[in-house]
Chain A
Amino acid sequence: MCAVLAFERAPGLIMDLPQFLENFLQALTAGLLTGAIYGLVCVGLSLIFGVMRVINFAHGDFMMLGMYVAFYAFGMLAAVPLFGEWLSPYLAALFAGPVIFVAGMLVHKLLVSRVTGMRASALASEGHYAQLILTLGIALVLQNGALYLFGSAPVSIQTPLASTAWLVGPLHGERVEIFVNQGQSIAALIALAVVLVFVAVMNRTRLGKALRAAADNPVAAVYMGIDVARAHRLAFGLGVAITAIGGGLLASSISFQPYVGLEYVIVMYAGVVLGGLGSVPGAFLGGLTIGLVQQLSTLFLPNQLQNAAIFVMFLVIVLLRPQGLFGTAARRT
């Protein structure tokens, strides 16, 4: 009641309550929908960090590649009558997964494996920075190589669903109505499904358990007969593949160009750090939170500062609570 009174006293300064409520709920919805995809993207990054202790600066650029793979795949799939324009955006996004998986395995085998893994950990601090800087180099090559391949003009996957929305409401005395974008909703559900499948793989299968064991203690994993180099390669491939699927899903709601990865790499790390580096469920929740913060910040901040808000939030999290908000940091003995 006090709030309402305050609004009545200063009607010129602040919009009226139902209007604010509608904007808030609209931003909340948008935040949850994008947040689910951010969550998926973060899960991929978190897997790589959790298993390999590698900070992959090029992760955003693998996501960018996933977006372009989905973009071109969509072009081909949409022509197939069976899939049409409704199904093909999602099939294209899922298709990006295996393509980028292979690319990731190759990049790991040829480049990343030479500065990471058990050999590198013996090099103490050297190996630690070598991988950071190597992935920076990979990021530069991917970004600028993509500029050559795909051009600098922003593109996006155009789907009819992207411009269709369900109307929720009217609520609250017929004055509040929310639009729920159909394309984004389906994308968010697919993202959630991919995360659940991934969690099941990690918890139920022999491969998933071996990856977790290698993450916990790589030397002891070798004593068990686990090929840790192969585990790392798989983790890297899987990690970039999951993120590429996320990128593919995002490609129908935003327009993108070859440098898009850079904007998202901080978004992703913000989510992963928020969730506690290395924790898969934490990373999903972290990504979800980042999506919410990004959309809710539009209520208070100009559009250009959306990403600045995420970066500031990221810095605050890293500085104040580096072990993440959800639970404790991944343990390692």
Chain B
Amino acid sequence: MRRETVLIIGFGLAYAAFAALVTHSYYQLILTVVPIWAVMGLAWNLLSGYSGFVSFGHAAFFGLGAYFVALAQIGWNLSPWLGIPAAGVVGALAGLIVGIPTFRLRGHYFALAMLAYPLALMYVFEWLGYQELTLPMRRDAALQFMQFEDHRIYTWLAAGLMVLAMLLTGRVERSRFGLSLIAIKEDEAAAEAAGVRTLHWKLLAITLSGAMAGVAGGLYAVVLLVVTPPAVFGMLVSAQALIVAMFGGAATVWGPVLGALVLVPLSEFLHAQLADKIPGIQGVVYGLAIIAVILLAPEGVVWKWRAYRRKRARAAPAPAAASPVSPAAAAQRASGPERPVIFEARQLSKSFGGLKAVRDVTLQVRQGEILGIIGPNGAGKTTLFNLLNGFLRPDGGEVVLDGRSIAGSAPDRVCAAGIGRTFQVARPFRRMSMLDNVMIGAFLHEPSAAAARAVALDALAQVGLAEHAQRLADGLTNKQLRLLEIARALAGKPRILLLDETMAGLTGAEVEELITLIRALAASGLTIVIIEHTMQAMVRLVDRFVVLDDGAVLAEGEPARITQDPAVIDAYLGRKWRMANA
């Protein structure tokens, strides 16, 4: 068993053992409620903590679970032993139904839409006449209906669920699923470009998350025996799930549990002591807790602790900066104009407002060549790449791969079809290790984490970053960032690699290293399209140039010819230069 699994089960047993010692019924209730909120926090965390899509509406799933269990027992005499798992199914379905339309939204809109679901449900349930639903007493079949004399059994059940939720979260975290969610949080567009099917993973996350919240709600109904719309659909329910998770640390297994362990007893205790004097004390505690977290430690307690440990561990000097393993001297690649065209743009156009960023661009990419696309700032180079990899839908024209039009395909589809890319401003997943960054790319063809890890390590070795595999992608040098992006793209086993200003801002020596690397990649059979602002290094790298200016193709041809082309010199150095140096 993994160490973490042992720890989680050990923690669950310790909690259950502690609960066995407490007999006072009020404290017993608090001990039962803590794991229920921990499960709610874990449910929120699974979606919002990992994927970064912050939900303000988890009460919707919780409330549906609670009402389902209550109504099923009242109406169909259904035992909670069946009702609670079924509440999970209800929560999962609700998650899926909410997710399909709502994931079309980003940021603010997503958060607002999620806020509306539970509030709308609250009014609907009030209207249906379920202002206060009491679970019928079944002394005759106490065991069957979970109506235990000994309240400690509820605590044990809740603790068991908490352990299950933690184990599930831990599994997700280590899998392709979890890494993909984190990549979405870090940079959704970059994840798509690396082949991550973002919608697929987000829907899976909200479905699972809804299931967990539904189960938590179901158990809540059984424990408290009374269900009211504000108590299960209210704002405080959603807020509490979010706050315990963020307080402890989002995107961790232990964070939501830690948050629940601290905040739930605190607010319950204060509520019991002061409720008659200060009626809103619970809400104030949660409000102040989340304000403090955001201002003082937005990453939460667990991450703060990890950073502290890492700091202490970093007494040892950081590993020296590596230079890329110089690949065997780039073989002279067979050149010749008759290599087949595998990728082309046909009369591509794109406008933003009144600005024509790309107009009628036609170009062909031949198998195994290095094609350089150059042009002054604002010439439309990056827009062209965004059209080629599916970030943008062209206003007109076609993108053709192997004779098939792919214009309008989503970026992850384009990536899966064999087109990898890097970005002008490097877009690593900053809070993931380099290895995890590259694994995201590797998952495209290797669904299992172990196989993806092997592919990722290979890709890192190929660019010379192997010894840094475990380092966080944050705080890398410019060169390392560029290499990391190349490795991430390589891990998806592309046939064509689009490099966007990979050499910008690098020193002369670093540029030489990159040229060697890119040549080696081309020698291994990869087709490369590279954008660059200047021709300096490019003339020694590329087989052919396409020059863009003002959104259109200005010239095309071999480096020697392009650098003498008067139109190109005008665009770059200005007409005055050509005349002065004629």
Contacts and interface: CB of A to CB of B under 8 A. Distances in A.
Interface string B180-204: 0000011000000000000000000
B280 A145 contact: yes
B19 to A, nearest CB: 29
A238 interface: no
Interface residues of A, number: 47
Nearest to A333: B353
B52 A125 contact: yes
A128 B284 CA distance: 23
A151 to B, nearest CB: 8
B104 A319 contact: yes
Interface in A96-131: 111, 114-115, 125-126, 128-130
Contact of B123 (A129, A147, A305): A305
Nearest to A142: B287
Q: Is the interface of A mostly helix, strand, loop or mixed?
A: helix
A311 B236 CA distance: 18
B105 A144 contact: no
Contacts of A125: 52, 185-186
Given A130-B294, A137-B294, A273 B280 contact: no
A315 interface: yes
Nearest to A110: B295
A140 B284 contact: yes
Contact of A318 (B105, B123, B185, B287): B105
Interface string B98-124: 000110110111011101110110011
B119 A269 contact: no
A141 B288 contact: yes
A111 B291 contact: yes
B294 A144 contact: no
Contacts of A145: 280, 284
B284 A141 contact: yes
A218 B356 CA distance: 26
A207 B236 CA distance: 39
Interface string A230-272: 0000000000000000000000000000100010011001000
Nearest to B236: A140
A22 to B, nearest CB: 26
Contacts of B52: 125, 129
B154 interface: no
A322 interface: yes
Nearest to B430: A124
A134 B291 contact: yes
B257 interface: no
Contacts of A284: none
Nearest to B98: A315
Given A266-B116, A322-B105, A132 B123 contact: no
Nearest to B274: A148
Interface string B203-237: 00000000000000000000000000000000110
29 contacts: A55-B112, A57-B115, A111-B291, A126-B298, A128-B107, A129-B54, A129-B111, A130-B294, A130-B298, A132-B56, A134-B290, A134-B294, A137-B288, A137-B290, A140-B283, A143-B280, A144-B280, A144-B284, A146-B280, A147-B279, A258-B280, A262-B235, A269-B112, A273-B109, A277-B108, A304-B126, A308-B120, A308-B124, A311-B116
Across chains A and B, which 8 residue pairs bring their CB atoms closest together, nearest first?
A144-B280, A140-B287, A144-B283, A147-B280, A141-B287, A137-B290, A311-B120, A308-B123
Interface of B: 52, 54, 56, 101-102, 104-105, 107-109, 111-113, 115-117, 119-120, 123-124, 126-127, 185-186, 235-236, 239, 242-243, 246, 278-284, 286-291, 294-295, 298
Given A133-B242, A144-B279, 5 more contacts: A125-B186, A140-B283, A148-B280, A307-B120, A318-B113
